[in-house]
Amino acid sequence: MPFQVPSIDDITQPALAERLQRQLDNKTKPLGSLGRIEVLAQRLGLILGSETPELRAPQLVVFAADHGLAARGVSAYPSDVTWQMVENFLAGGAAVSVLARQHGIGLTVVDCGVRHDFAPRAGLVISKVAPGTADALEGPAMSPSQCRVAMASGSALVKGLPGNALLLGEMGIGNTSAASMLLARLSGIDVADCTGAGTGLDADAVQRKIGILREVLARHVDAREPLDALAAFGGFEIATMVGAVLRAAVERRVVVVDGFIASAAVLVASHLQPAVLQRCVFAHRSGERGHALMLAHLKVEPLLDLGLRLGEGSGAAMAWPLLVSACAILREMASFEAAGVSRQDEAPTAAQRQA
């Protein structure tokens, strides 16, 4: 399945931005009193190209795959947890399942490369490139061809989804290692600063993990370009997410980015097409060590900072009501004129004095 990185247009629209700001300033409130919700409202208006933006049929996609490097002990959990958690997502018992239900968000789980055969059922998409990536310490996690197949699958998936908002989630034992290496390679930050406890490693285990990741980075010293790094370090779920992000950006969907691994996919996508970031809303700053550095590298500010490090798209689902509220403020909040309310620098009208 061939895949070409699409062109992503710059959606900077000074005239629309000015109209949105004027509209926000004219709402019945002191200037700027809704703080960053006003910034969010303007961003959503720009992404959707509307002064009255409306979010429709939001879709949360959990991209799942296994990592060959997990056999090196870079995670506190065994690889079997990947497929077991996929079953939990589908049964409705995971945190992201609960949150998606609560907020009326469509939930799809994609098998991008889990080392397990799932029975077909509603809510599950089988796009398995291979049963897990290879051990990146022995060679590339995936071939260039496999990487592009995964990206093409992500793009095709988004094309078939309804709505105008994509929330990113993931599952894959070992994928914080892949994200840490992608950050280190594409940003130039030392891998020790990019690497945290993942699923719960103790301090000694984190140091061993850092040592392994240094070896992998040295093994693939020539993998400098975004897609070369992605193929070298993995994983299938991150590559599939990259394709999904690029397609969502082409379609001007709002992309709600979860934590460290989802941000790693956006990092790769933005190094391929910088205008991708114009379509993204970053849900939260993860408790995973490298995430703050990744957000700083991307020059973005997340909505929440709750110490989350679960993944799955849970942070994106928790932030979702803020996006809904920001759009509602633009569409429904009264202007000073419509409400008959005096501005700060205006004397009250006769009718207002009599009220």
Mind telling me the catalytic residues?
A: 312
For helices 289-298 and 175-187, angle between their N-to-C axes, nearest 10 degrees: 40
Rounded to 5°, the CA angle 294-254-84 comes to: 70
Q: How far is CA 41 from CA 53, 76, 248, 316, in A?
A: 8, 40, 19, 17
C-alpha to C-alpha distance for 264 and 172, rounded to whole angstroms = 14
Block residue for tokens 């709600």: 256
* 3-class state of residue 255 by DSSP: strand
In angstroms and rounded to an integer, the radius of gyration of the C-alpha atoms of the chain is 22
Cis omega (within 30 of 0) on the bond before 35? no
C-alpha to C-alpha distance for 339 and 329, rounded to whole angstroms = 14
State the DSSP code for 67. -
* Residue 7, both tokens: 């062109």
